[in-house]
Structure 1
């Protein structure tokens, strides 16, 4: 019996929207402030997955320069009707305090790999939009409603409004079809139709350790919706340390053989309640009761090992975790902060065989950082690079960064000191508090320098070596529990990235050249 091993998308891959078109399965996930926008993963057996494409690749679709941490793309929804793929997403501009500026858009494509259209603006009344295509040919937009007023329920219900695919516009009245259950924080709506019932799947309980999947149904699209008497259908047990935590925010798919599966987000704490990898994606097998309610196999808690559907095995090609920057394009797992790749700050052609980063703004900038990174997907890993860089002053830095957001990161950098010349430093930002972890800058000879980071759960150790010498450790072990959703005094939603960056705070764009990047999972 084939087994799905969860999470199927390890590391920061939250808010999955799962879709089947013929024999192909897709999962779209949130990307927040990271560019390109929205990852779409592909499978043919629900066991093996690969990153297929990013639909939001240009600023006409997604302009995030200046977006806040954990802003940008929230909870995309992927659907298909009459030969067209539809992708709905939110671009969140502000989220702290009473107000949330959440703009919802729609892009379309005839091929899942694009080209994807410029966006159609929909509304800004709330986030987590989705599109439901009824069997009468009509389409309907859903999103949660945000109520900023004091004394009101901020998660004010699920809005439903008709979307006219011909005029590409919303039309008719807005209906509040579901105000949630006692679990509260009702969001992430998805609609499905089966055996004459409309099934509304929502996330409730908040996206932390009380997260849950709620199911309600109605014989009428507009309701009223009856809540499953055994609600919630899926939630985690915080008392089981080895279990997938934070289970919620689900979507459904029916296989070619009539089997049902649920994709949902989850998280795995490395120590205490800290989830350094961020919120991940898992899949559970489901069934329907005789009276028409959805059940998770062995639920309501999520399983790590799940019976796979009766489909032929279909392994997927995976990109090499070592990048020698010898191709004209970046590998698919690379991402940038808030802005697209452009020759004004990143180049694979100016020095063939190298990645060139031109110094950008500081690590706390929400505008134009020169930072290229990939998701941390393993609890035990070595990350290595080789750098050629000759900074001229202390405002110029480049190196290897372990990054959560503008307030939390650890950075092994090559820089310049007036007395010591080219030297090495370790910068840490912990909850926005800047610190230099080397009491004395380590002088470096000219020439290429190798940098390495070793991560074991919450422990990070940096290393350095010239090309012809053995590795030596630099600085003390760093506790990186603060690189997690759970470490801040406010809610945030991404995960840890590892990568390369360059800063030139004087604005001269001093370039740094990297000859490779090697990501090596450890036992």
Structure 2
């Protein structure tokens, strides 16, 4: 059986593509660099992270992009010769007034297209498409023409911001959109229509969209037309997949989907979902990707296998040869000249400014830059949390001279939601450890744990997460673990823990950070970093 989600942790907005016997899923990365994650499989059950195509400043520069902006909803397709990837770089989401209410409807969505002969090759510089909305999807028609669909954003007062799905032809020869854009689908009463994908089957053009918002009301809507420009008639059920009517569903928030056919004609749907914490209703793992088979009815409409329209926690394995995924590396010793693929950083296309793997061989050196949470150049390298229970640790060599220098281990969602276990220094306390927490649902925006004096020299830092419970500990090399007495709330590292009006579309990361707010660039050296997932078992030493 396929156990969902197939891509656990922050992997939203899946775009699913088959080329021969190979399947690919591209997912959104938002403010994390490099941009777009592409996973590969041959059996639809086991997936391996293969590449991140947007690696150059010419392709993506997110310095200044707000939290949960940057790369939205990539669309991966193949036309028989090469891969085509469209994506949005969101530069402005809107400002927020006192109390969290939305204070602006103006937003900046820039849509681009890149191509490559292989998913892990050198992708082209981007072709600007438009800025009329977000979630661009490219459709290759069987007559050779190519069409772009995207969500249309309407900022005018009294209008629905989600103004429908627009269609426009793309000319590969001219490398631009041509002709007039046409609004082909205004959406349903569920609203918030986005994430369009086009398909063709039995003479019908099928339009798949997401509706209801990316929270608990999320859903997948289908419509069809004999003409690509419409009019489009709605599926008899309206939405073909959703968990919005079942608050107890183990896979909540199901929506934003894409379809693929296997070689034998079986249709599968990939969609985003969320797994709420038990009794807390918060998805600390972010929006994940699930996959299940569908069936075509005699009426040429698509349905779930049982007709319920519900996501499946387990799905039957397709009749494809088993292809095990590459094992994820739990420990990184930083002996190679390149950063391990599991790790990413924030926004900047200039990683040499924030880290080095050669300055001190066998170490990841982070250069102290801007404050943690900066929207421009902060030295933070981390990986996704992909299980509800895990242990993470690192060995750090860092000698701060004053209170404006800090480095350590961080559980991070965004600039307003994190727990940062860091080494710093001041005249009264000397070198010490403490936790800074950014709290999104508290009258106090940030909080600090009591300082703990530590000896000179390298030390190990450790985080233990069990669902919503987070503990931090430290030790000198070879010594016993010393656990902070506080227990921290890991559930704040979620989409749901936030003031209204703010974008929250990512997930929790765990990793390493370094700041030098004096501007002198003091580095911290990390000898290794380790992340181990586990079933929940109370730690007898963490008392």
| Short-chain TM bin | over 0.9
Say yes or no: does 1:371 pair with 2:383. Answer: no
Match of 1:438 in 2: 449
Of the candidates 50, 69, 72, which is equivalent to residue 71 of structure 1?
69
1:230 to 229, 233, 237: 237
SS in 1 for 2:17: strand
Are residues 186 and 386 of structure 1, via their aligned partners in 2, closer, same or farther at CA, if it must alter by over 3 Å? same
Question: Matches of 1:408 and 1:316 in 2, distance apart?
Answer: 32
Q: Does 1:88 align with 2:96?
A: no
Task: Tell me the residue number matched to 1:10.
Answer: 8
**1:100 corresponds to 2:100:** no
1:156 aligned residue (155, 163, 179): 163
Q: Is the 8 A contact 2:150 2:167 kept in 1?
A: yes
Provide the residue aligned with 1:273 in structure 2.
281
Pick which of 234-243 and 104-113 moved more.
234-243
1:162 is paired with a residue of what secondary structure?
Answer: strand
- Which residue in 2 is equivalent to 1:460? 470
Equivalenced residues, count: 520
Q: Cα deviation per residue 1:409-454 (whole Å; 9 max; x = unaligned)?
A: 0000000011221111110011295434323x21111111110000
Question: Are residues 1:351 and 2:351 paired?
Answer: no
| Separation (CA, whole Å) in 1 of partners of 2:447 and 2:79 | 54
Deviation, structure 1 residue 156: 0.6
Match for residue 408 of structure 1 among 408, 414, 417: 417
Unaligned 5+ segments in structure 2 are 95-103, 536-543
Partner of 2:351, secondary structure, is coil
**How far off is 1:13 after superposition?**
0.3
Displacement, 1:145? 0.4
Mapped to 1, the partners of 2:446 and 2:213 lie a distance apart of: 33
**Alpha-carbon contact 2:61-2:349 (below 8 Å) kept:** no
Counterpart in the other structure of 2:345: 336
Aligned to 1:48: 46
Q: Return the alpha-carbon distance in structure 1 between the equivalents of residues 182 and 448 of structure 2.
A: 55
Aligned to 2:540: none
Q: How much does 1:238 deviate? A: 5.4
1:438–1:475 CA contact under 8 A, matched in 2: no
Compute the displacement of 1:392 (Å): 0.4
Q: In 1, Cα distance between the equivalents of 2:131 and 2:211?
A: 21
Residue 506 (structure 2) pairs with residue 494 (structure 1): yes
Q: Distance in 2 between matches of 1:435 and 1:56?
A: 34
- Which residue matches 2:313? 304
Between the aligned partners of 1:258 and 1:287, the Cα distance in structure 2 is 10
Q: Could you list the runs of 5+ residues in structure 1 that have no partner in the other structure?
A: none
1:510 aligns with 2:522: yes
Q: Is the 2:439–2:447 Cα contact (8 Å) retained in structure 1?
A: no
Cα separation, 1, equivalents of 2:246 and 2:236: 24
Aligned to 1:288: 296
Match of 1:361 among 359, 370, 390: 370
Relative to structure 1, the CA distance from residue 459 to residue 435 in structure 2 (aligned partners, 3 Å threshold; closer, same or farther) is same
Give the conservation status (yes or no) of the 8 Å contact 2:86–2:138. yes
Structure 1 residue 344: Cα displacement: 2.7
Alpha-carbon RMSD across the aligned residues, in angstroms, is: 1.2
**Given the superposition, is the C-alpha separation of residues 487 and 20 from structure 1 closer, same or farther in structure 2, using an over 3 Å criterion?**
same
| Mean CA deviation greater in 489-498 or 202-211 | 489-498
The Cα offsets for residues 219-271 of structure 1, whole Å up to 9 and x where unpaired, read as: 11111101001121000045443520000000000001111100000000014
Q: Distance in 1 between matches of 2:445 and 2:234?
A: 49
C-alpha contact 1:238 1:245 (8 A) present in aligned 2: no
1:212 aligns with 2:223: no
Structure-1 separation of matches of 2:297 and 2:140: 25
In 2: Cα distance, 1:364 partner to 1:233 partner: 39
Counterpart CA distance in 1 for 2:354 and 2:191 is 44
Give the match for residue 406 of structure 2: 397
2:206 alignment partner, one of 199, 206, 210? 199
The Cα of 1:174 is off from its aligned counterpart by 0.6
CA deviation string 1:297-316 (max 9, x = no partner): 23311011001211010112
Q: Is the 8 A contact 1:129 1:143 kept in 2?
A: yes
TM-score by length of 2: 0.94
What do the CA deviations read for 1:31-59 (whole angstroms, capped 9, x no partner)?
00000000000000100001000110011
Contact 2:219–2:244, Cα closer than 8 Å, also in 1 = no
1:59-94 deviation line (CA, Å, top 9, x unaligned): 110010011001100000001114111000000001
**Quick one: distance in 1 between partners of 2:480 and 2:337?**
32
Residues 465-508 of structure 1: CA deviation (Å, up to 9, x unaligned): 11121112114101122211111123410000000000000000
| Cα distance in structure 1, aligned partners of 2:165 and 2:249 | 34
How big is the shift at 1:327?
1.2
How far apart, in 2, do the equivalents of 1:290 and 1:434 lie?
57
Maintained 8 Å contact 1:237/1:301:
no
Instruction: Report the secondary structure of 1:481's partner residue.
Output: helix
SS in structure 2 at match of 1:230: strand
Q: What secondary structure sits across from 1:372 in the alignment?
A: strand
Indicate conservation of the 8 Å contact 2:57/2:350, yes or no: no
Native 8 Å contact 1:237 1:243 kept in 2: no
Please state whether the residue corresponding to 2:269 is helix, strand or coil: strand
| Distance in 2, Cα, partners of 1:329 & 1:387 | 19
Deviation per residue, 1:193-242 (Å, 9 max, x gap):
00000000000111100000000001111111010011210000454435
Match for residue 484 of structure 2 among 456, 471, 474: 474
1:147 to 139, 150, 154: 154
Work out the CA distance in 2 between the residues paired with 1:9 and 1:55. 18
Compare 427-436 and 409-418 and name the one that shifted more: 427-436
Change beyond 3 A, Cα 1:238–1:414: farther
Contact 1:209–1:245 (8 Å) recurs in 2: yes
| 3-state SS of 2:496 partner | helix
Partner SS for 2:487: strand
